[in-house]
Amino acid sequence: MNRRLRRRVVVTGIGAVTPLAVGVEESWRKLCQGKSGITRITRFDPSGLNVQIAAEIKDFHPEDFLDKKKVRRTDPFIHYALVAAHMAMDDAKLTINGSSASRVGVVLGSCAGGMATYGKNLCALCNEGAEKVSPFFIPGFIANMATGEISMAFGARGPSKCVVTACATGNNSIGDAFRHIQYDEADAMIAGGSDAYILPIAIAGFDKMRALSRRNDEPEKASRPFDKDRDGFIIGEGAGVIILEEMESALRRGAKIYAELIGYFSNIDSFHITEPDWENQARCLKLALNDAGISPDDVDYINAHGTSTRLNDISETKAIKAAFGEHSKKIPISSNKSMIGHLLGGAGAVEAIFTVLTIRDGIIPPTLNCDTPDTECDLDYVPNIARRADVNIALSNSFGFGGINTALVFKEFEE
Active-site choice (180, 342, 370, 377): 342
272: annotated active-site residue: no
Q: How far apart are CA 79 and CA 66, in angstroms?
A: 8
79: annotated active-site residue: no
Q: Which residues of 43-57 are buried (b: 16+ CB within 10 A; e: fewer)?
A: eeebeebebbbbbbb
Q: How many residues does the chain have?
A: 415
126: annotated active-site residue: no
If we measure between CA atoms, which residue out of 170, 161, 143 comes closest to residue 74?
143
Task: List residues bridging with 195 in a β-sheet.
Answer: 238
What is the 8-class DSSP label of residue 169?
Answer: H
Q: How far apart are CA 351 and CA 204, in angstroms?
A: 26
Q: How many CB atoms lie within 10 A of CB 334?
A: 29
Active-site choice (167, 284, 370, 377): 167
Active-site choice (180, 305, 370, 377): 305
Backbone angles phi, psi at 311, to 5 degrees: -70, -40
Task: List residues bridging with 31 in a β-sheet.
Answer: none
The helix (H) or strand (E) run that includes residue 196 is strand 188-196
Q: How far apart are CA 12 and CA 272, in angstroms?
A: 38
The helix (H) or strand (E) run that includes residue 202 is helix 200-208
Backbone angles phi, psi at 201, to 5 degrees: -65, -40
Q: How far apart are CA 240 and CA 352, in angstroms?
A: 8
Q: Identify whether the C-beta of residue 150 lies closer than 8 Å to the C-beta of residue 89.
A: no
Q: Give the active site residues.
A: 167, 305, 342
